[in-house]
Structure 1
Amino acid sequence: MSPRGVAIPDPRARLFDAAERVLAREGPAALTSRAITGEAGCAKGLLHAHFDGLDAFVAELVLDRFARAAQRAEALPGRAGLDTVNDNLVLAAHALLSSLDPTVAGLALTRPDASLRIRRALEGGAPGFASIQDAITAYLAAEQRLGRLAGTTDTEAVALALVGTVHHLLMTTWTGAPDPREQAERLVALLVGSAAVDTGTEGGAGADRVPR
């Protein structure tokens, strides 16, 4: 427990991390203000000093994790031309699956007021799955310009399919469920295979640029 009067570095991050541990160990039903502050090892009133109640805290936790995942996705366009398209999209999918804990992603479903706060924040421009989709679309467009994806590829549809699948996997992954990473990899292989550059004869122009 932090001594009285001693400032806690980045209390929001400390409380968010504590909440994730409570969720992972005991599930959404155990997420109370007392459980969170107890796990964080801080005064019971700290949560309410920084958030307008538990629903506001839950909303901010989910939005923070969405923003973290979106930030990681923003780096993807910079990888255009590096490694393979398949590898880069798999890397992005794995990053999203690890950045957003399934329990956190589905947490708002258990708290209607928190869900409303999240929806309003996303409508107001807070980063979320739409931002992640935009980053993947930008990456795919960059690969098109480099000739590593067919010019006819619907980059927005490919990005939507990948992000939609990751969202689905996050919301439906539980103990004993199939490995979501393997499922995401299969989808990426399908999407990239359908968008591969037609090189014509073996060894023809651009043969070394076909994504695999």
Structure 2
Amino acid sequence: MSPRGVAIPDLRERLFDAAERVLAREGPAALTSRAITGEAGCAKGLLHAHFDGLDEFVAELVLDRFARTARQAGGLPAQAGQATVADNLVTVALMLLNSLDPTVTGLAITRPAASLRIREALEAGAPGFTAIQNAITAYLDAERQLGRLPDGTDTPSIALALVGTVHHLLMTGWVDAPDPRDQAERLVALLVGAAPRSRH
């Protein structure tokens, strides 16, 4: 247990990791501020000292994971010309699918205040699906310039289709549903094989 008055390095990440462990082990009903701080080995009131309640904490957890994935996706254009286009797209799709446990997204959806905060933050420009979509578009444009995609390939539509589908899979990944990774891989094969062309 951390002593009072002593700064804890990377406190947010420590609390976020603890919350994910509690959710994975015990489910949403067990997620309380006391359970989170206990799992993190912190003083009981520490979460409320840094977040305005559990709804803000859940929203910030989701936004943090989206931002982390957006940063990772930002490196995708540099992968142009390496591996295969399909492999690179599958990698970023799985990265997004793995950014959050379905239990976390399910919890955020069922807490209106948290869901609203997430939506408002994304609309205000917080890194999320739009940043990931832009990174995929830039990557596909680079591959088109290298000749690994046909001229006229509608790269923004491929990026939109991929991110939109993965977003749906991420937000609706319930027990007994088909494996979203398999679905993402099949979608990538379809998108790359079809190579839809722009109307412009």
TM-score by length of 1: 0.87
Q: Over the residues paired in the alignment, what is the CA RMSD in angstroms? A: 1.6
Conserved in 2, the CA contact under 8 Å of 1:69 and 1:99? yes
Q: How many residues align?
A: 197
After the TM superposition, which segments of 4 or more aligned residues of structure 1 sit over 4 Å from their partners? none
Matched, 1:150 2:150: yes
CA distance in 2, matches of 1:106, 1:192: 31
Which residue does the alignment assign to 1:140? 140
CA distance in 2, matches of 1:27, 1:165: 25
CA distance in 2, matches of 1:115, 1:196: 34
Which residue does the alignment assign to 1:73? 73
1:124-151, CA deviations, whole angstroms, 9 ceiling, x for partnerless residues?
Answer: 1100111111110111111111111112
Conserved in 2, the CA contact under 8 Å of 1:15 and 1:36? yes
Displacement of 1:109 after TM fit? Answer: 1.0
Displacement of 1:117 after TM fit? Answer: 1.2
Conserved in 1, the CA contact under 8 Å of 2:102 and 2:173? yes
Which blocks of at least 5 consecutive residues in structure 2 are unaligned? none
TM-score by length of 2: 0.92
Which residue does the alignment assign to 1:206? none
CA distance in 2, matches of 1:133, 1:167: 11
CA distance in 2, matches of 1:53, 1:143: 45
1:145-185, CA deviations, whole angstroms, 9 ceiling, x for partnerless residues?
Answer: 11111122111111111111111111222333322111111
1:13-58, CA deviations, whole angstroms, 9 ceiling, x for partnerless residues?
Answer: 1110011111112222221111111111111110011111111111
Which residue does the alignment assign to 1:10? 10
Which residue does the alignment assign to 1:46? 46
Q: Which amino acid aligns with 1:100?
A: L
CA distance in 1, matches of 2:174, 2:25: 13
CA distance in 2, matches of 1:171, 1:117: 16
Q: What secondary structure does 2:174 align onto? A: coil
Q: Which amino acid aligns with 1:33?
A: S
**Matched-pair identity in %:** 79
Q: Which protein has the larger Cα radius of gyration, Structure 1 or Structure 2?
A: 1
Displacement of 1:196 after TM fit? Answer: 8.7
Which residue does the alignment assign to 2:131? 131
